[in-house]
Amino acid sequence: MVLAARMVEEQTVAQTQPTPVEISLRGVSVSYAVGSTGRKPGVTKTVLSNLNLEILAGEFVAVLGETGCGKSTLLRLILGQEFPSTGMIVVDGKQVTRIDSRCGYVPQKYSLFPDRTMIENVMYGPENAYCGWLGRLLPSYRAFKRKLRIQAEEQLLRMGLRANDLNKYPHQLSGGMQQRVAIAQALMMKPPVLLMDEAFSALDPSTRASLQQQLREIWQESRPTVLFVTHNTSEALLLGTRLIVLEPHGDEPLKSNVLIDMPLPQSSDTISVRKKSREFQELSEFVKRRAYGSHSRYHGDQPGQETRSLGDSL
């Protein structure tokens, strides 16, 4: 009860503070034909239905939901990689019509360019942004590149890479290191919105915990708007300032997929301390019960695995 009251209070506080809206989804639905062959039309499958979301600047939104509920589709829509069947998406004040640099993007894999070293991967974005093709011919380009290299090195070292890893190619480093570089690569562009699609799901628990901590610190420093898609309930609750749980679309045509949309309690404690608190455990149970109902055994990365304590799942 105390927890619920606190959540309502925080929601009220969030509503009274005038914060600019960074991402806005208005009546967004996505459906496509499945199994159409030649002239025979297939069955229409609705992935997202009547979605209305306003995400404020600087929010860290964790998106949870079962497989097939449209989490990744939501991200692709905001990126401009896919388009809604109906409705409109606005990012940073402009309607999304194509992929551009308003959003930084960290996918689960294939994030880094395999033909570039770690440092070149991180320098790639700013080089495009500030030089272009002709800029590379200017005499000032070399000085710019030297300065950029220093910045990129600082960013990578901050993300936990060693100095002798900077000139290695992605295939020479572990998945965890690659994801660190992928985050650094996206952050170098200082995007107003950072979209992360199960970015930590392929990592081992210790690397995952360390990256969660780093991401949280980075977000606290520069406050980009983050949309973090995950399968992991604990991860969503520990990182986010707001939780959105999507459910697979049922038969009701106008029913929205959003099952839960609520602010999350914040604390100055570190992630490792927070995840052991009673409040966190209660909240986690609440979300699991609401989100997965009878499937409440599923709250980790691997569907079907037995329920474990939240500490273990991280």
**Region of 17-25, 45-53, 113-121, 273-281 interacting with another protein (CB under 8 A):** 113-121
In the bound complex, what is the minimum distance in angstroms from residue 253's beta carbon to another protein?
A: 30
60, 241 contact by CB (below 8 A): yes
DSSP conformation class of 135: H
Give the nearer residue to another protein in terms of CB position, either 100 or 279: 100
Give which of 9, 105, 107, 14 is closest to 59, Cα–Cα: 14
Distance separating alpha carbons of residues 180 and 170, to the nearest angstrom = 11
**Region of 19-27, 45-53, 129-137, 139-147 interacting with another protein (CB under 8 A):** 129-137
- List the one residue from 62, 73, 105, 288 that touches another protein (CB under 8 A): 105
Give which of 206, 205, 202 is closest to 182, Cα–Cα: 202
**Subset of 53-82 contacting another protein (CB under 8 A):** 79, 81
Give the nearer residue to another protein in terms of CB position, either 155 or 185: 185
191 binds another protein (CB under 8 A): yes
In the bound complex, what is the minimum distance in angstroms from residue 199's beta carbon to another protein?
A: 11
**Apex 271 CA angle, 2 and 310, nearest 5:** 70
List of residues 6+ apart from 48 with CB closer than 8 A: 28, 29, 30, 70, 73, 74, 77, 84, 246, 249, 257
Pull the structure tokens for residue 67: 């497989």
- List the one residue from 93, 94, 113, 167 that touches another protein (CB under 8 A): 113
Task: Provide the residue type at 207 as one letter.
Answer: T
**Subset of 130-189 contacting another protein (CB under 8 A):** 132-133, 169-171, 185-186, 189
List of residues 6+ apart from 10 with CB closer than 8 A: 263, 265
DSSP 3-state assignment of 216? Answer: helix
Q: Which helix (H) or strand (E) holds 28?
A: strand 21-34
In the bound complex, what is the minimum distance in angstroms from residue 262's beta carbon to another protein?
A: 29
In the bound complex, what is the minimum distance in angstroms from residue 7's beta carbon to another protein?
A: 33
**Region of 126-134, 155-163, 173-181, 282-290 interacting with another protein (CB under 8 A):** 126-134
Give the nearer residue to another protein in terms of CB position, either 95 or 270: 95
Sheet hosting strand 94-95, strand order edge to edge: 43-56, 21-34, 86-91, 94-95
In the bound complex, what is the minimum distance in angstroms from residue 48's beta carbon to another protein?
A: 19
**Subset of 226-285 contacting another protein (CB under 8 A):** none
Question: Long-range pairs for 300-307 at CB < 8 Å and ≥24 separation?
Answer: 300/231, 300/232, 300/233, 301/201, 301/231, 301/232, 303/67, 303/231
111 binds another protein (CB under 8 A): yes
100 binds another protein (CB under 8 A): yes
292 binds another protein (CB under 8 A): no
38 binds another protein (CB under 8 A): no
35 binds another protein (CB under 8 A): no
Binding residues for another protein, rule: CB under 8 A, are 79, 81, 98-101, 103-105, 107, 109-111, 113-115, 124-125, 128-129, 132-133, 169-171, 185-186, 189, 191
